């Protein structure tokens, strides 16, 4: 079983908002004490196995993943309907779970957040990465019916987050938000 983390940062945001970009920066700056845990990892691994697909290509940001996204979402929803904490539990005992800071980089549902808040009370901070639609389009986002209007993209839209990071390309604004967040994390590690 994994050690109990000092803090769990649960990130969410729309497609092409820059969640991975932001969480990768944090991981780099907290090298050695932080790991990025992706709920989509075990989902994609099992989906690839069940459908005889290339897992490495499902894990990157290519058209290959986009081709299967809608079906993968439906498949994942069926798993979550049967057990809302299924994917959450898997990453809690997988690689990286020994680190004191966990970044869940891709929360998409209220049940994801509720799982961690219940299992790790007082250790969870929710973070929303936001970017304007025009910025997301510049990054390659195209509205896709059945994906962008699905629960996997919209379930957390009305959630009150502990922190909102705006990622519209203003590097100074982003840097200030990340600096404050990282200082807060480091202060918890020093306790």
pLDDT averaged per 10 residues in sequence order, the chain, 191 residues: 82 95 96 91 87 87 83 86 90 91 94 95 97 96 90 91 96 96 92 58
pTM of the model: 0.86
Q: Is 32 annotated as a binding residue?
A: no
CA 179 to chain centre: 20
Q: Is 76 annotated as a binding residue?
A: no
Q: Residue 1's pLDDT is what?
A: 42
3-state helix, strand, coil in the chain (%, to 5): 50, 15, 40
Q: Residue 17's pLDDT is what?
A: 96
Q: Residue 163's pLDDT is what?
A: 97
List strands edge to edge, sheet with 101-104: 34-37, 101-104, 7-12, 124-130, 163-166
Q: Is 52 annotated as a binding residue?
A: no
Q: Residue 160's pLDDT is what?
A: 96
- Asked if 59 and 44 touch (Cβ cutoff 8 Å), the reply is yes
Q: Is 170 annotated as a binding residue?
A: no
Q: Is 169 annotated as a binding residue?
A: no
Q: Residue 59's pLDDT is what?
A: 80
Residues 188, 100: Cα–Cα separation, whole Å:
10
How would CATH label the architecture of 7-189? 3-Layer(aba) Sandwich (3.40)
Q: Is 184 annotated as a binding residue?
A: no
Q: Is 14 annotated as a binding residue?
A: yes
């Amino acid at each position: 079983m994994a050690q109990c983390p000092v803090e769990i940062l649960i990130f969410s945001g729309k497609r092409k908002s820059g969640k991975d970009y932001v969480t990768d920066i944090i991981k780099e700056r907290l090298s050695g004490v932080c790991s990025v845990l992706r709920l989509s990892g075990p989902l994609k691994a099992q989906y690839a196995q069940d459908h005889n697909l290339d897992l490495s290509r499902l894990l990157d940001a290519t058209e290959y993943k986009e081709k299967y996204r809608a079906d993968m979402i439906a498949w994942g929803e069926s798993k979550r309907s049967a057990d809302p904490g299924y994917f959450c539990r898997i990453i809690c005992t997988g690689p990286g779970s020994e680190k004191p800071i966990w970044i869940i980089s891709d929360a998409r549902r209220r049940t994801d957040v509720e799982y961690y808040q219940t299992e790790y009370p007082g250790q969870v901070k929710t973070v929303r990465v936001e970017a304007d639609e025009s910025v997301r389009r510049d990054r390659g986002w195209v509205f896709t019916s059945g994906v962008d209007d699905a629960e996997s993209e919209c379930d957390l839209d009305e959630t009150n987050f502990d922190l909102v990071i705006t990622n519209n390309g203003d590097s100074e604004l982003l840097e200030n938000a990340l600096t404050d967040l990282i200082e807060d994390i480091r202060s918890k590690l020093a306790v």
